[in-house]
């Protein structure tokens, strides 16, 4: 006989078991769905973080290449791509040595030790190993650094040359005076020539000191500058120079009475005096020099030799001279070749513009517009 009670109990048990299993399945499903959602969110955050990180490296002024342990490219920023001629998409997984073929680089890559950087073609590279054999290759554009280095080398060579010339003359004369019995008037003549050379050396050292002071100080110390008295001093120097040069030059100064400005007196004195003395030095007998100060503008006009247009862009370079043979002609009054470099420097430091207008055989006008 069927035990109805037992059967009923079994059915109830089976049904509730089924419901329980179903509920549990549902709960597991729900938990699994939530877990997946959390993981997906976390993965999105990681991708965003990685993107932000790569964007930061992308914005770096330096080139960055990530290499795997085989030295294959995993990623590179645009700067590295430009400097090394890579394609950030196409070249992924390519061996770096197949793309950057310079022998110096291949030799560098084959080394074990990367504590120094490698320089070639105005680029500086250095490999930084990390992790399990991966490496970061950093690349910098050193065009400006190399140019500055070249300028420094040229400057030292120029200074040495400028010093050696008068020194050679001086030591030659000293030897002559020591070995040859000269008549008193000849001795006097030689001593005069020696004095000229030593004055040239002093002028050179003085201008070098002015330039190094300008280089060393970031900004001029500002004070109220009495332009009128500063130009009065320049006028006196200009007349003395014309007398020494034995030239009759019509020198006129037209300065706004009580003219003043904010600046560095010593720097402006240097700049004004260089422009005015140049005007006198490069103007022949019978010429004219006219200096005007009006409304924050100095203009120094001369009726001198003038300058051909091709020289104008280089005039303010240190030791650039249009006609080197004039140094001998001008003797002790020859410039150091640093005058206009000083003028340009002072102008920049005072927010002024140096304007040069010149015509060969007619004359020049140098203006400082503050
Ligand atoms: P320097 O000491 O040789 O005069 P500067 O730097 O003052 O050096 O000037 C550079 C060059 O510019 C000079 O050698 C000269 O050839 C030219 N120069 C400067 N001022 C004048 C001028 N007023 N007229 C003609 N040439 C000038």
Lateral strand order in the sheet of 73-76? 73-76, 63-67, 134-141, 123-130, 118-120
CA atoms within 13 A on the CB side of 151: 10
Pairing of strands 363-369, 297-302: antiparallel
Residues 117/105, Cβ–Cβ less than 8 Å: no
Please state the atom number of ligand 1 nearest to the C-alpha of residue 283: 24
Residue 270 alpha carbon to ligand 1 centre in Å: 15
- Residue bearing tokens 């990530």: 66
Contacts of 306 (CB under 8 A, 6+ apart): 358, 359, 360, 361, 362, 363, 364
315-332 pLDDT per residue, tens: 999 999 988 776 666 666
Residues 73/67, Cβ–Cβ less than 8 Å: yes
Q: Of the residues 199, 204, 238, 278, which should be mutated to test ligand 1's pocket, given the most ligand atoms within 8 Å of the CB?
A: 278
CA angle (253, 358, 330) in 5-degree steps: 70
Contacts of 317 (CB under 8 A, 6+ apart): 341
What pLDDT score does 14 carry?
Answer: 80
Residue 28 alpha carbon to ligand 1 centre in Å: 91
Residue nearest to atom 21 of ligand 1 (CA): 278
- Measured distance CA(359)–CA(308) in Å, rounded: 7
Residue nearest to atom 23 of ligand 1 (CA): 279
Residues facing 299 on adjacent strands: 292, 367
Helices 265-281 and 339-349: angle between axes, nearest 10 degrees: 140
**Domain 58-141 grouped into CATH 3.40.30.10:** no
This prediction's pTM = 0.73
102-135 pLDDT per residue, tens: 999 999 999 888 999 999 888 999 999 999 899 9
Q: Which residues of 42-73 are buried (b: 16+ CB within 10 A; e: fewer)?
A: eeeeeeeeeeeeeeebbeeeebbbbbeeebbb
The low-confidence residues of the chain, meaning pLDDT below 70, are: 1-2, 326-333
Residues facing 244 on adjacent strands: none
Could you tell me which CATH number the domain at 144-218 has?
A: 1.10.287.130
Residues 342/274, Cβ–Cβ less than 8 Å: yes
Residue 278 alpha carbon to ligand 1 centre in Å: 6
What pLDDT score does 331 carry?
Answer: 60
- Measured distance CA(259)–CA(226) in Å, rounded: 6
- Measured distance CA(183)–CA(171) in Å, rounded: 20
Helix boundaries (H) for 303-356 = 326-330, 339-349
Residue nearest to atom 14 of ligand 1 (CA): 321
What pLDDT score does 327 carry?
Answer: 60
Measured from CB, residues less than 6 Å from any atom of ligand 1 are 274, 278-279, 282, 302, 304-305, 307, 315, 320-323, 335-341, 364
Nearest C-alpha neighbor of 76 from the set 252, 109, 90, 205: 90
- Measured distance CA(294)–CA(310) in Å, rounded: 30
Q: Of the residues 340, 359, 360, 368, which should be mutated to test ligand 1's pocket, given the most ligand atoms within 8 Å of the CB?
A: 340
Helix boundaries (H) for 76-183 = 78-84, 96-99, 103-109, 143-179
Q: Of the residues 199, 211, 270, 315, which should be mutated to test ligand 1's pocket, given the most ligand atoms within 8 Å of the CB?
A: 315
Residue nearest to atom 7 of ligand 1 (CA): 339
- Measured distance CA(203)–CA(273) in Å, rounded: 13
What pLDDT score does 113 carry?
Answer: 86
What pLDDT score does 334 carry?
Answer: 76
CB atoms within 10 A of CB 219: 8
Please state the atom number of ligand 1 nearest to the C-alpha of residue 302: 23
Residue 185 alpha carbon to ligand 1 centre in Å: 34
Dump the DSSP string for 53-105.
HHHHHHH-SSEEEEE-TT-BEEEE-HHHHHHHT--TTTTTTSBHHHH---HHH
Q: 220-370 has which fold?
A: Heat Shock Protein 90 (3.30.565)
Residue spans of the domains in the chain: they are 58-141, 144-218, 220-370
């Amino acid at each position: 006989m069927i035990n109805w009670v037992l059967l009923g109990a079994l059915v109830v048990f089976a049904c509730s078991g089924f419901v329980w299993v179903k509920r549990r399945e549902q709960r597991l499903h729900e938990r699994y769905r939530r877990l997946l959602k959390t993981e997906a969110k976390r993965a999105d955050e990681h991708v965003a973080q990685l993107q932000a990180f790569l964007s930061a490296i992308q914005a770096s002024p330096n080139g960055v290449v990530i290499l795997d342990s085989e030295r294959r490219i995993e990623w590179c920023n645009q700067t590295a791509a430009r400097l090394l001629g890579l394609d950030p998409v196409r070249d992924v997984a390519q061996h770096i040595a197949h793309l950057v073929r310079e022998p110096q680089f291949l030799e560098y890559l084959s080394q074990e030790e990367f504590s120094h950087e490698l320089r070639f073609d105005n680029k500086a590279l250095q490999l930084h190993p990390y992790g399990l054999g991966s490496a970061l290759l950093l690349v910098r554009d050193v065009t400006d650094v190399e140019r500055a280095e070249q300028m420094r080398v040229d400057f030292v060579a120029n200074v040495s040359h400028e010093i050696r010339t008068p020194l050679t003359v001086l030591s030659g004369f000293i030897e002559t005076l020591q070995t040859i019995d000269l008549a008193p008037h000849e001795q006097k003549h030689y001593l005069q020539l020696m004095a000229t050379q030593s004055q040239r050396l002093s002028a050179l050292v003085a201008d070098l000191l002015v330039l190094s002071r300008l280089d060393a100080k970031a900004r001029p110390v500002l004070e109220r500058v009495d332009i009128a008295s500063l130009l009065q001093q320049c006028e006196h120097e200009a007349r003395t120079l014309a007398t020494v040069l034995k030239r009759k030059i019509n020198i006129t100064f037209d300065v706004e009475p009580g003219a003043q400005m904010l600046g560095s007196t010593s720097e402006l004195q240097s700049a004004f005096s260089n422009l005015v003395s140049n005007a006198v030095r490069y103007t022949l007998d019978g010429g004219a020099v006219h200096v005007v100060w009006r409304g924050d503008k100095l203009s120094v006009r001369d009726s001198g030799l003038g300058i051909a247009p091709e020289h104008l862009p280089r005039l303010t370079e240190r030791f650039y001279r249009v006609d080197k043979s004039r140094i001998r002609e001008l003797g002790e009054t020859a410039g150091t070749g640093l005058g206009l470099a000083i003028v340009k420097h002072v102008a920049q430091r005072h927010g002024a513009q140096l304007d040069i207008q010149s015509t060969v055989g007619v004359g020049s006008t140098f203006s400082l517009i503050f």
